[in-house]
Amino acid sequence: MRVYRGHLIHIGGAPRLDGAREHLVSIPDGALAVDDAGMIGYSGAYPGLPESAAGAEIIDCRPGFLLPGFVDTHIHFPQTHCVDSYGGGQLLDWLQRCIFPAEAMLADTGYARRVARDFCSRRIAVGTTTALVFGSAFPHAQDALFEESIAAGLRTISGRGIQTVGPAAAGPLLTGDAEAIDLTHNEIERWHNHAGGLTHAAVVPRFALSVTETTLRALGELYEDASADGVYFHTHLSENRGEIEAVRADYGVEHYLDTYDGRCAGGGVSLLGRRSVFAHAVHCTDHELSRLAETGSSIAHCPTSQLFLGSGTMPWQRTTASGVTVALGTDVSAGDEWLIPRVLNDCFKVHISEPEGQGLSIPPADLLFTATLAGARALDLEDRIGNLDAGKEADFLVVDPQRQALLPELLARTDPEDADRLLFTLLMSMREDVIDGVYVRGRLVTEPG
């Protein structure tokens, strides 16, 4: 057993968003006792350490903080080198001009391996212990991603990006329907619930415009079986107004979500459910929000990306009030920032600025909840991760404020007992340099090869 001593901050228990504030735990002289299996045996005040921790090695992280690992519920692995992409327009222009050609470069196995290493390396630097990763079209690239993730010790859920139709620029990423199903099956067999449960597979059609009704119907049949084994479903939904109009025109549906919900003209099995995560959901109708909520599906909210592509602002109050779980995603590379607290910073700013009386100053505990426990819930992993309660697997970060200019001064001006104020300072101000240790299941994750 090891004991980490520092200022412990997390959202304890299992509240909903509206209970996050009451569940904010902040213990200035705190301790986490982690056993040899990587489980949290004790979480609380250092002076209250139980007898069983006597003789354990003590790692003194003071004046550092102990935070839950960040959960990124939407990030694109094949876009690791693309955060600077100028598309000359919004989503569809950016995809065609920058992203499809960049993703096609992963056809080269050596390059795909380099991208996988860089991807894992960035995740470690920014403390993203768990991620739902939008994958490459190429199976060798997906193998590289899973292998590098396992070598590093990260938690990764991913699936190859499925595309069966698209513009010429998407050509190298396309397959036929039968091949798409075969490759997806194969990936599930290789990587689902692998590495002691640190990797999982997902079924990932890029978005409705990258596939057809036939593809979605076949994926529905596949997912009917795969979802019983805990395979995930992940895609984009209602991100951009031009995209939504194109989906409605192509599919003849009233609501974008209908395409994934088995409600195209030909019918089919719904892809919604408790392991289904939809990125963006900026412009959803009430019907869409209630279908997401009643099926236990979740939203990966990506405010940094929405700013970058001019996609609009997901209405925070209306969306969270619908009962759907709203977690956070960087959406690298439309999101040009890897660090989850920087995405929270944008989240705070865009929602305080919402028009027509909808603006809200999101409380710091709600921000932390969205970046950690809500992510774990969206990924149906709340029984294992998402906070630092005893009994969970020890996915945590050691944050050393002394590694960032002026952060110690900002924190020194805050009463350590004023948890809200202190958390706000930390989340809004921190940069990745302060992340001093990243642990998954009690093990320090390390830079790949």
54 CB contacts (<8 Å, ≥6 apart)?
none
**Residue whose CB is less far from ligand GUN, 77 or 348:** 77
Closest CA to 21 of 420, 421, 444, 436: 420
Per-residue binding letters, 181-220, with ligand GUN (x by CB under 6 A)? -------------------------xx-------------
What distance in Å separates the CA atoms of residue 439 and residue 311, rounded to the nearest whole number? 34
The answer to whether residue 236 forms part of the interface with ligand GUN (CB under 6 A) is yes
The answer to whether residue 149 forms part of the interface with ligand GUN (CB under 6 A) is no
Joined together, the tokens standing for residue 274 give: 């408790």
Distance of CA 366 to the CA centre of its chain: 16
Find the shortest distance in angstroms from Cβ 399 to ligand GUN.
29
Joined together, the tokens standing for residue 230 give: 């805990």
Count other Cβ atoms within 10 Å, centred on residue 197: 13
With tokens 């690992």, the residue in question is 69
The answer to whether residue 99 forms part of the interface with ligand GUN (CB under 6 A) is yes
Q: Binding segment for Zn ion among 185-193, 326-334, 395-403, 417-425 (CB under 5 A)?
A: 326-334
Per-residue binding letters, 69-88, with ligand GUN (x by CB under 6 A)? -------x------------
User: Phi, psi (5° rounding) for residue 120?
Assistant: -65, -35
The answer to whether residue 305 forms part of the interface with ligand GUN (CB under 6 A) is yes
Site residues (CB under 5 A) for Zn ion, limited to 238-297: 279
Q: Binding segment for Zn ion among 55-63, 157-165, 203-211, 327-335 (CB under 5 A)?
A: 327-335
C-alpha to C-alpha distances, 1 to 36, 40, 54, nearest whole angstrom? 6, 10, 9
Instruction: Give yes or no for a contact between 369 and 20, defined as CB atoms under 8 angstroms apart.
Output: yes
Closest CA to 176 of 206, 215, 225: 215
Find the shortest distance in angstroms from Cβ 256 to ligand GUN.
12
- Binding site partner of 239, from ligand GUN, Zn ion, none, Cβ cut-off 5-8 A by kind: ligand GUN
The answer to whether residue 331 forms part of the interface with Zn ion (CB under 5 A) is yes
What distance in Å separates the CA atoms of residue 283 and residue 299, rounded to the nearest whole number? 12
User: Which residue ranges make up the site for ligand GUN (CB under 6 A)?
Assistant: 76, 91, 95, 99, 206-207, 236, 239, 305, 331, 334
User: Which residue ranges make up the site for Zn ion (CB under 5 A)?
Assistant: 279, 331
